[in-house]
Chain A
């Protein structure tokens, strides 16, 4: 029995190991290739680089106008995530505390439709709207769209989490004379921390990696995000490896670092974000 268990475990490690290799080889390839010449990469794709030089990264960094593109991406992601947390937490809270009311049910249903349907179907109307509002080529456009698109799921998460917070806590504050808003911000909102973290993580991943929104709404180069820089430079398949691979790495580096630093939290966020959903 024990031996059987050991064989089973060995087999399991073997299979999981193979899967891990399949997952990691492309990532390894991406990174080591940045330190190789084109011929070197073609002849010895898996070998460790013979020398580590950051020269090609420097070049890619300049070509992509990285600091600017990074800042744009950061602003879009940060403001959108902040906006989602503020609006969705309030909305989810109100919908939960007035769950029985007709208006609440209607609003919830309306917002839920945003989870089922991808916004991409109405991108042309959106394009027109953004143009008419004179928001074209402004970070604000992408931010507002990102908030609107990602809000429904966040509302959903907040609404279900609020139901675990006893109303009694709020009533105590109410007796002390605090209004609905004050009670929410002082008492309830701090208790929503776990969901806030979940919403922040999920949306950081989605919005940072969103390519379509910026592609449609940000046209000038000063406004573009990291992925648009990647697209602009690698748009046409090229054999100029030494300059392209560092760009790909720079394209994924920020989130990769974010993930490596907060791996447990990111996975935890995805996990709790879905179990409640």
Chain B
């Protein structure tokens, strides 16, 4: 027995050594430009088609998907190793990519003039431009109109009214909100959405306004001691059990499925989910994150994913052509079409806002869109703090942390990751 095995083992080893020495046959070196992102292949198919059409066969764009929860890991390690896709795509961490020298400067390219200033919030550093935005995203609260009607509740305007709505629904035996907090960030959107309306804006106790985040980013202000009252107010939702520890064992996908199935009345989310609900034939609408007064409301949002050229690319010329295609009306239109309700930073793109968005149209049109973690990015890789804020929020929800503990963990994390 053992002789035969021996021969097989050694034979296999020898054969493999040879294969390895010769190396795999090189992949066909067509003019392929790679790009990697966290959008599902199905969702991004329209964009890829538009890109390839725009390129007219000169280049082919190859897409690879990485789950959002791992995206930061994967992209960071690839870039640090001198590798990575030709087109670098990233969201709130895009400034960190610029800082790390991962993306090429493209200041002065003609096609950049087609974009409005706000679109470069994450992909520029002072006057230098390092990339282009895709579309404008925002998050709010989806609600099931049928459930609201059946229980005789109106869309709330203030936080207190919102809690009252949850009370009414819960008393009627309806789960007010659906959360999948095993992996989802919807609870973080909920608290930061409330902060945007009740701390960063509309709050006399915070004279710095949104500049608080800039101070925080540079280590001149701390969260613990500043945000406590507001976060405590928000955690009424935890106290009353509308956001609870059971939800920590539920995945985000499941929470969305529950909302679609009518098992819960509300869901924190945004335009990227619009088609899911519309296709399921739901009667739904969006409301804003909540504020104390109900006046001067803000949506959480900003430029979604940004694109730039990998400093390590072997084909900078091709990557530039592809980047220009990314900036074309057709491709930018494809992004907005895939995110119904999302807006565009490029002239010539027509974004539609179906009636489901009637409740928040005015806020968007007024330009009241802001995003806490994008503001952190001036002096830290903000994705890291975002991930930490999401992870530690689980502790606040499970009751293991007090509000003070929670905010302190964020201060600690920030102290570890600031650029300077």
The answer on direct contact between A and B (beta carbons under 8 Å) is yes
Binding site for B on A (CB under 8 A): 68, 71, 74-75, 78-79, 81-82, 85, 131, 136-137, 139-140, 143, 193-194, 196-197, 200, 216, 219-222, 231-232, 235-240, 265
Q: Are A193 and B84 in contact (CB under 8 A)?
A: no
A137-B83 in contact given A75-B16, A82-B13 (Cβ < 8 Å): yes
Q: Are B20 and A237 in contact (CB under 8 A)?
A: no
Chain A CB within 8 A of B366 CB: no
List CB contacts (< 8 Å) of B59-94 with chain A.
64-70, 74, 77-78, 81-84
| A75 CA to B182 CA, complexed, in Å | 36
Query: How many A-B contacts if CB must be within 8 Å?
Result: 88
Chain A CB within 8 A of B6 CB: yes
Please name the 10 residue pairs, one residue from A and one from B, whose CB atoms are nearest each other, closest first.
Answer: A82-B13, A78-B16, A235-B67, A236-B67, A219-B78, A237-B251, A239-B253, A136-B81, A219-B83, A235-B70
Q: Report the minimal beta-carbon distance from A76 to chain B, rounded to whole angstroms.
A: 9
| A76 CA to B205 CA, complexed, in Å | 61
Q: Are A216 and B20 in contact (CB under 8 A)?
A: no
Interface of A is mostly: helix
A136-B82 in contact given A193-B2, A237-B183, A239-B251 (Cβ < 8 Å): yes
| A118 CA to B196 CA, complexed, in Å | 46
| A59 CA to B64 CA, complexed, in Å | 16
Q: Are A79 and B254 in contact (CB under 8 A)?
A: no
| A19 CA to B380 CA, complexed, in Å | 51
Selected contact of B13 from candidates A78, A194, A222, CB within 8 Å: A78
| A194 CA to B252 CA, complexed, in Å | 51
Number of chain B interface residues as a range: 35 or more
A239-B254 in contact given A139-B20, A219-B81, A220-B83 (Cβ < 8 Å): yes
Q: Report the minimal beta-carbon distance from B319 to chain A, rounded to whole angstroms.
A: 16
Q: Are B68 and A236 in contact (CB under 8 A)?
A: yes
Selected contact of A265 from candidates B5, B10, B12, B15, CB within 8 Å: B5
Binding site for A on B (CB under 8 A): 2-3, 5-6, 9-10, 12-17, 19-20, 24, 27, 64-70, 74, 77-78, 81-84, 182-183, 251-254, 257
A contact residues around B68 at 8 Å (CB): 236
Q: Are B6 and A82 in contact (CB under 8 A)?
A: no
| A140 CA to B74 CA, complexed, in Å | 20
A200-B67 in contact given A79-B17, A82-B14, A219-B84 (Cβ < 8 Å): no
Q: List 24 A-B contacts (CB under 8 A).
A: A78-B15, A79-B13, A79-B17, A81-B9, A82-B13, A82-B17, A85-B9, A85-B13, A131-B81, A136-B81, A136-B82, A136-B83, A193-B6, A197-B5, A220-B78, A231-B70, A232-B65, A232-B67, A235-B66, A236-B69, A236-B70, A236-B252, A239-B253, A239-B254
A contact residues around B24 at 8 Å (CB): 68, 71, 222
Q: Are B20 and A196 in contact (CB under 8 A)?
A: no
| A82 CA to B19 CA, complexed, in Å | 13
Q: Residue of A at shortest CB range from B79?
A: A219
Q: Are B5 and A79 in contact (CB under 8 A)?
A: no
Q: Residue of A at shortest CB range from B70?
A: A235
Q: Are A235 and B69 in contact (CB under 8 A)?
A: yes
A221-B81 in contact given A194-B2, A197-B5 (Cβ < 8 Å): no
Q: Are B251 and A82 in contact (CB under 8 A)?
A: no
B contact residues around A143 at 8 Å (CB): 20
A79-B251 in contact given A193-B2, A236-B69 (Cβ < 8 Å): no
A contact residues around B253 at 8 Å (CB): 237-240
Selected contact of A74 from candidates B16, B69, B82, CB within 8 Å: B16
B contact residues around A265 at 8 Å (CB): 5
B contact residues around A235 at 8 Å (CB): 66-67, 69-70
A contact residues around B15 at 8 Å (CB): 78
| A220 CA to B257 CA, complexed, in Å | 33
Q: Given known contacts A79-B20, A237-B251, what 4 new A-B pairs fall within 8 Å (CB)?
A: A131-B82, A139-B20, A193-B6, A196-B6
| A164 CA to B13 CA, complexed, in Å | 26
| A190 CA to B15 CA, complexed, in Å | 19
